[in-house]
Structure 1
Amino acid sequence: MNKQLILFYFYMACFLFCTCSCEKESNGLFQQDDVVFNGTEDDTSPQNVKLPDIDLSHWKVTLPIGNPTSIKPPEILDYATNDVLKTYMYNDSIEGALVFFTKPGASTPNSSYSRTELREQLVAGSDSYNWTFKDGGVIKGRLRMNETSRDSSGKPHRVIVMQIHGRLTNEQRDLIGQKDNNAPPIMKVYWDNGYVRLKSKVLKNQDASYPDLLHTDAWDNDSGYTFSEYVGYEPFTIEIRASQGEMAVTLNEIHTHSYSGNNMQKWGVFENYFKAGNYLMATESDAFARLKYYNLEVNH
């Protein structure tokens, strides 16, 4: 076989090899070890990972462990790799949600229930800066109950999913001789057996003086309000708007329940902060709840 013929067969072999390689990469597909992947639509590719629309730079989280344990900015921003946090707060990258898991354990001084719950911080890392109803505030979140344990009668345990909580200033605390800055929550939003239920506060004595109304026991629970729409275990949206002398809670941008009058006017003496997450209303050892937030935003 002469040299020209050998070169001819060599070039033909190279041409056929390149052609086959190009065919395997056509239409966005490539083949590796007899497994075909779609380079543009593979569900496990980074491009298809969904993340929650939640900025944690002004939130701290309280966990059902420790005394209890709280993690604030900037540490909370690394929740996905934080060994303490990732059991209780982690991403669902399929649904694009931030998952809050909790079970009975450590509780805060003014409660017997445990939580995996965010607490607003106007100044990152500090609880000392808060807002009044005169300042105004709006919190809006889209969330769903993923799963929760049941009580002995078979009813799902309730979970508080959003709050406006009051706080005494240092001057108010000292005025009434209280050991801490705790004040009542003016709004608690419950997931209650598939419905959204609201609980607020009313003064026991509508003519209470300024020092008297600073005491937690000056306020009583109202009768509550339950939205008629059943949300079950599907996503729903909650928005709370607070302004001077008024508060309104809206479910799914359609149904609104409003508060005004003397109780709201008197509440103006308190500072406040928003809370959001999984505050489980159960103490049984086998109780638990898993809640998902898709987005969460606050404006003042």
Structure 2
Amino acid sequence: MKIVSAYRLVTTIVATLAITAALVVTTGTAAAAAPCDYPAQKLDLTNWKVTLPTGSPGSPTEVKQPVLATYAVNPWFQVNHSCQGVQFRAPVNGVTTSGSSYSRSELREMTDNGTRQAAWSAIVGTHTLTFRLAFNRLPNGKPHVVGAQIHDGDDDVTTFRLQGSNLYLTKGNDSDYKLIASGYQLHTVFEGKFVVSGGQIRAYYNGALQATIGHTGPRNYFKAGAYTLANCGNSSPCSSSNYGQVSMYKLLITHS
């Protein structure tokens, strides 16, 4: 009986090891698979909310904390296929906010663990947004997409905006204020940074200062993701197959 019991024990151990090995080969370890479920596993979204190109006219879907910590929606806001970053997609026929004719899949800076909207002064303290992203796709007709921006209480102050193959830093209504890079190829990852202090915005591209913009306004906040600057009136087809898309690989805010 002891020999039979020992044989059964050995057989069970061998079978268990074989199953475990098969799972590792086919699916990877549980630790490797889990971080691909939600964008908040790739980016620290504690003090952000996301606005999506879905919902009802003039009232797009917004997801805040704590729901945002375990939220994803295909294909608008999800971990990308490589499990390295977060995919933001906004189609030309997406739902828009009441103040814009363009749709977005975009994060908006919050504070107090995502419970209140951020609104900081450009003349008090130092406020920094560092991001690493790649533009993946542009809409037809008007191939313009914003990947990151500073907004105040009224409008965007400055943005990183891809127009065709030209990457610009904008200033207010001047969409061509500073040409950062020409010949940009889709899927090329770059690092950008805004540093705001003393009434000035310093904008960096891959570590190099690109421009210094004077700005003293209050109620400022950062935004990042895909803001597609095209709609059914200037881009065809008018469908979800026509969109702007950004992959975000790093997103870090500091205030001091």
Classify the TM-score, shorter chain: 0.7 to 0.9
Q: Would the alpha carbon gap of residues 46 and 276 (structure 1) be closer, same or farther in structure 2, given more than 3 Å must change?
A: same
> Equivalent residue for 1:290?
245
Q: How many Å separate the matches in 2 of 1:108 and 1:15?
A: 69
What are the residue-to-residue correspondences of 1:85-100 with 2, within 5 Å?
85-92=73-80, 94-100=82-88
One-letter identity of the residue aligned with 1:293:
M
Farther off after superposition, 44-53 or 101-110: 44-53
> Equivalent residue for 2:235?
none
- String of CA shifts for 1:71-102, please: whole Å, max 9, x gaps: 2222222313xxxx455212236332221121
Structure 2 unaligned blocks of 5 or more: 233-237
Q: How many Å separate the matches in 1 of 2:46 and 2:165?
A: 31
Q: Which has the higher strand share?
A: 2
Q: Would the alpha carbon gap of residues 22 and 59 (structure 1) be closer, same or farther in structure 2, given more than 3 Å must change?
A: closer
Count of matched residue pairs: 236
User: Where in structure 1 do 4 or more consecutive aligned residues deviate above 4 Å?
Assistant: 13-25
Q: Offset at 1:240? A: 1.2
> Equivalent residue for 2:139?
149
> Equivalent residue for 1:133?
122
Counterpart secondary structure, 1:240: strand
One-letter identity of the residue aligned with 1:48:
A
- If the length of structure 2 is used for normalisation, what is the TM-score? 0.78
- Residue 37 in 1 paired to residue 37 in 2? no
Q: Offset at 1:42? A: 4.8
Counterpart secondary structure, 2:105: strand
> Equivalent residue for 1:258?
211
Q: How many Å separate the matches in 2 of 1:45 and 1:196?
A: 39
- Residue 59 in 1 paired to residue 44 in 2? no
Specify which of 206, 213, 224 is matched with residue 276 of structure 1: 224
- Residue 186 in 1 paired to residue 157 in 2? yes
Q: How many Å separate the matches in 1 of 2:226 and 2:161?
A: 10
> Equivalent residue for 1:122?
111
Q: How many Å separate the matches in 2 of 1:186 and 1:242?
A: 12
Q: Offset at 1:158? A: 1.4
Q: How many Å separate the matches in 2 of 1:222 and 1:87?
A: 28
One-letter identity of the residue aligned with 2:189:
P
One-letter identity of the residue aligned with 2:193:
E
Q: Quick one: percent identity of the two aligned structures? A: 22
- If the length of structure 1 is used for normalisation, what is the TM-score? 0.68
One-letter identity of the residue aligned with 1:191:
L
- String of CA shifts for 1:231-285, please: whole Å, max 9, x gaps: 53122221111111322222222x321214xxx1xx3133200000110011131
One-letter identity of the residue aligned with 2:106:
E
CA RMSD between the two structures: 2.9
Q: Which has the larger radius of gyration?
A: 1
